[in-house]
Amino acid sequence: MHHFAYRNGVLHAEDASIEAIAAAVGTPFYCYSAATLRRHVRVFREAFGGLDALVAYSVKANANLAVLKLLANEGAGADVVSGGELRRARAAGVPAARIVFSGVGKTREEMALALDEGIHQFNVESEPELDALNDVAQSKGTKASIAFRVNPDVKAGGHEKISTGKAEDKFGVAWTRARDLYRRAASLPGIAVKGVDLHIGSQIADLAPFEAAFAKVAELVKSLRADGIAIERLDVGGGLGVPYGDAPADPPHPEEYARLIRRIAEPLGVQLICEPGRMIAGNAGVLVARVIYDKEGERRRFLILDAGMNDLIRPALYDAWHDIRPVREPAPDSARTVYDVVGPVCESSDVFARARALPPLRAGDLVAIMTAGAYGAVLSSQYNARPLAPEVLVSGGRFAVTRRRPSFEDMIALETTPDWLNG
């Protein structure tokens, strides 16, 4: 469910016309709907009512400070995977006590920062990381609260590049080693063992892999308790898919997913932590672009947009499918033209859609690339010396630019030419 719809023939984000925003901001730009973001957090709040639960929004999905602030205002915490994300979450007002720190390559500097901030939990992904964290915490005379991210060896995820829970993946500690590692961790002076964590993948389209993985992890919690290790938290990660419009069936509704989590966690008597990213932000955002040319190729017809793979890399990186809608509502009976929808970047992979049947579009028309709120702006780059697309947040009829388009001077501000090149 999202808040992008045609009104009086023009695509709106909530009560704000995309055309009006484009006129004010220029294209391309990302546009996010505050009501959609809020709604997604509330699904969890309602489903987990009465439980000790922490919704730690996965910052990497969309790290815009205004988005983080909005989610923090809704009571969400944050799941971060770098010191930079930790600082973003703090800058947006997420309390440190609601932050969990995941990732396979935390440096000692990042660990020190997180300990100084007083975060809720480190999700530890290897034995060498455990030892490093123990060292850093001891040197500060403190203890780091941890969960191990265990790898339940369950295959899940919409694409091989976003599957994380198989034995071959780099994430988590091996299932077969988990009990030994917990015993070791419990003996370390700089470590306070608190919980068990998992995250099996992303864009997962059905509940079965979650159910399989959660059931395995619930058994592990019981075994660890039998070993005398007090497990008081269960972090079930993120990964629920969102409908992009291409799959034969839509992913399960977030309410169903939240009910499944509740069913697993409640009997264990643990603090429940979840780390949703895509399902919070995915369909809360669109990328708006303008058609530059309608190019008749020898074999194909190309619709060339002013947004490119540097703005939204998901199609090039994950073969992702995004719905593309004209901002001016087409007549229901309008003819369709088959286009390859492409960007201006000098790469053959700069393609948003192949052989897509679209209503008539002309140079100057606006299009919206739907469901671009997660893993969109965060993965963008300035390749081809293209400025980062601005980000706009809509709430009701209001909109605000929450990241402006950099000027050319901004873009080159970090670079210098050495004196010895200046003749």
User: Six-digit token pair at 312?
Assistant: 């939204």
Helix (H) or strand (E) holding 369, with range, is strand 366-369
Specify the stretch interacting with ligand PLP by CB under 6 A; choose among 112-120, 237-245, 303-311, 318-326: 237-245
User: Six-digit token pair at 77?
Assistant: 């915490």
Least distance in Å: CB of 170 to ligand PLP?
Answer: 11
Q: With binding defined as CB under 6 A, does residue 14 bind ligand PLP? A: no
User: Are 373 and 4 within 8 A, CB to CB?
Assistant: no
Residue 99 exposed, middle or buried by CB count within 10 Å (0-12, 13-18, 19+): buried
Specify the stretch interacting with ligand PLP by CB under 6 A; choose among 130-138, 235-243, 307-315, 392-400: 235-243
User: Are 151 and 171 within 8 A, CB to CB?
Assistant: yes
Q: With binding defined as CB under 6 A, does residue 233 bind ligand PLP? A: no
275 in a known ligand binding site:
yes
Side-chain half-sphere CA neighbours of 275 within 13 A: 28
User: Are 71 and 89 within 8 A, CB to CB?
Assistant: no
| Cα–Cα distance, 9 to 327 (Å, whole number) | 8
Q: With binding defined as CB under 6 A, does residue 278 bind ligand PLP? A: yes
Q: With binding defined as CB under 6 A, does residue 165 bind ligand PLP? A: no
Specify the stretch interacting with ligand PLP by CB under 6 A; choose among 57-65, 87-95, 133-141, 311-319: 57-65
| Cα–Cα distance, 300 to 110 (Å, whole number) | 50
The interaxial angle of helices 178-186 and 208-226, nearest 10 deg, is: 50
237 in a known ligand binding site:
no
Least distance in Å: CB of 133 to ligand PLP?
Answer: 16
Structural Rg of the chain based on CA atoms: 23
Instruction: Give the distance from CA 78 to its chain's centroid.
Output: 11
Residue 321 CB neighbour total at 10 angstroms: 17
- Count the site residues for ligand PLP by CB under 6 A: 17
- Please identify which residue in 36, 62, 102, 134 interacts with ligand PLP, judged by CB under 6 A: 102
Q: With binding defined as CB under 6 A, does residue 371 bind ligand PLP? A: no
- Please identify which residue in 275, 306, 311, 350 interacts with ligand PLP, judged by CB under 6 A: 275
- Please identify which residue in 195, 238, 326, 376 interacts with ligand PLP, judged by CB under 6 A: 238
Residue 226 DSSP code? H
User: Is 346 known to be catalytic?
Assistant: yes
Least distance in Å: CB of 125 to ligand PLP?
Answer: 9
Specify the stretch interacting with ligand PLP by CB under 6 A; choose among 176-184, 265-273, 274-282, 391-399: 274-282
Q: With binding defined as CB under 6 A, does residue 152 bind ligand PLP? A: no
What residue numbers does the annotated binding site for substrate cover? Answer: 278, 314, 318, 347, 375
Q: Which residues are known catalytic residues? A: 346
Q: Give residues in contact with ligand PLP (CB under 6 A).
A: 58, 60-61, 79, 81, 102, 199, 202, 237-239, 275-279, 374
